[in-house]
Amino acid sequence: MFNSRIVSTGSAVPDFIIDNSMLAELVDTSDEWITTRTGIRNRRISRYKNTSDLASEAAEKCLKNAGIKVEEIEMIIVATVTPDTFTPSTACIVQQKIGAFKASAMDINAACSGFIYALDIADSMISAGRFKNALVIGAECLSKITDWKDRSTCVLFGDGAGAVFIEKSSESGIIKVSTGAEGDKSGYLISKALPPRDPFQNKGSFSNEDSYIKMNGQEVFRFATRIMVGSIKKLFDEYKISHKDIKLIIPHQANLRIIEFASKKLAIPMEKFYVNLQDYGNTSSASIPIALNEAVEKGMIEKGDLIIAVGFGGGLTYGSILIEW
Ligand code: UT7
């Protein structure tokens, strides 16, 4: 068995910023409602670039920071629920765009927990000696599946991508990854794909609107708070650590109230949680790697620091990770 560690990060977001007051022109909402109920003030929306474009930009920044050559990359995993196409996978399009032609490439879908799931796969493959390194990306253009007439969801989401490069290491790095799912709650957060079609009948039609996100916000909120609290507590208990040993907790950026709930319940100061949802909204699988990259760029994480990331979302899925930087 080998260790794997994150050696660099990168992210990319679209230039176009939609603030809460602009959304109030589209639906019956207000800056006051969105800010107090979610903490979100702005989100980035991609008008022209697709998911693979944002993923490739994040990847290129990450690789520049790693100082490695693209031909050295052995595996690319993209976590996304908003791929450019059913096939090829977004990872294959990224492979072509960045020129990483020696890399194996695949997408995975675990919604907002997707980045943690993808890291789990990459870490396991490296630990088993199957690959020496991997480029792991969370990338979304959620605006493609956002119902801009539904005030209960359109105020929440944004577009973006984040990437990490991980490699085999003799030093400590990824200490523990856990993932899970509660498929019995799948109906609480849905974006439909194409339905079955009888080739002998022309009945039925499917439109873009059918793919728009539908969410039972209160049920997902309940799940999210349970997962946030439970995942962090489990890691603390298993490794006999407390928040004092942790430099930073990077939660999925869905709602400030979810993070505040966990902070209060676990008696962890809010300063320990990295929060940037006010700038980007909920970018699903991209939210954790975008936040991680920002924290790294701000110099908030140094070698040897322990950090935790926790994801939760559609599926319903969840995942957590403990890392020594
Ligand atoms: O990444 C996936 C994970 N997703 C999440 O973690 C989302 C978890 N859920 C949430 O963050 C919250 O449930 C929401 C932010 C989605 C909603 O907040 P809430 O406090 O649960 O609001 P609510 O759904 O109970 O709605 C309260 C009221 C309703 O009006 P009435 O029925 O009380 O008259 C809604 O119609 O707020 C209304 N409302 C709005 N009003 C103004 C819902 N959306 C809006 C809006 N602007 N955008």
224 pocket-lining for ligand 1 (C-beta < 6 Å): yes
Strands, DSSP E only, in the chain?
3-12, 17-19, 42-44, 75-79, 104-108, 133-141, 159-169, 174-181, 189-190, 214-215, 246-251, 306-313, 317-324
Spell out the per-residue pLDDT of the chain, length 325, in tens.
889 999 999 999 999 999 999 999 999 999 999 999 999 999 999 999 999 999 999 999 999 999 899 999 999 999 999 999 999 999 999 999 999 999 999 999 999 999 999 999 999 999 999 999 999 999 999 999 999 999 999 999 999 999 999 999 999 899 999 999 999 999 999 999 999 888 888 777 888 999 999 999 999 999 999 999 999 999 999 999 999 999 999 999 999 999 999 999 999 999 999 999 999 999 999 999 999 999 999 999 999 999 999 999 999 999 999 999 9
Task: Please give the distance of CA 234 from its chain centroid, rounded to a whole number.
Answer: 21
Instruction: Report d(CA 123, CA 113) in Å as an integer.
Output: 16
Model pLDDT, residue 197? 87
29 pocket-lining for ligand 1 (C-beta < 6 Å): yes
- Cα of 222 vs centre of ligand 1, distance in Å, is 12
- Cα of 238 vs centre of ligand 1, distance in Å, is 35
Annotated catalytic residue within 112, 133, 141, 255: 112
The number of helices, as runs of H, and strands, as runs of E, in the chain is 10, 13
Instruction: Report d(CA 120, CA 118) in Å as an integer.
Output: 5
Domains and CATH numbers, the chain: 3-171 (3.40.47.10), 176-195+205-324 (3.40.47.10)
Annotated catalytic residue within 62, 65, 252, 293: 252
Give the DSSP letter string of 84-106: S-SSS-HHHHHHHHHT-TTSEEE
- Burial readout 98-129 (b: 16 or more C-beta within 10 A, e: otherwise): bebeebbbebbbbbbbbbbbbbbbbbebbeee
Q: Any catalytic annotation for residue 243?
A: no
Give the chain's end-to-end CA distance (angstroms, integer): 19
Model pLDDT, residue 198? 84
- Cα of 37 vs centre of ligand 1, distance in Å, is 7
Model pLDDT, residue 199? 86
What size, in residues, is the chain?
A: 325
Closest CA to 142 of 42, 244, 211, 199: 211
Instruction: Report d(CA 295, CA 292) in Å as an integer.
Output: 5
Closest CA to 287 of 272, 303, 271, 274: 274
Model pLDDT, residue 237? 96
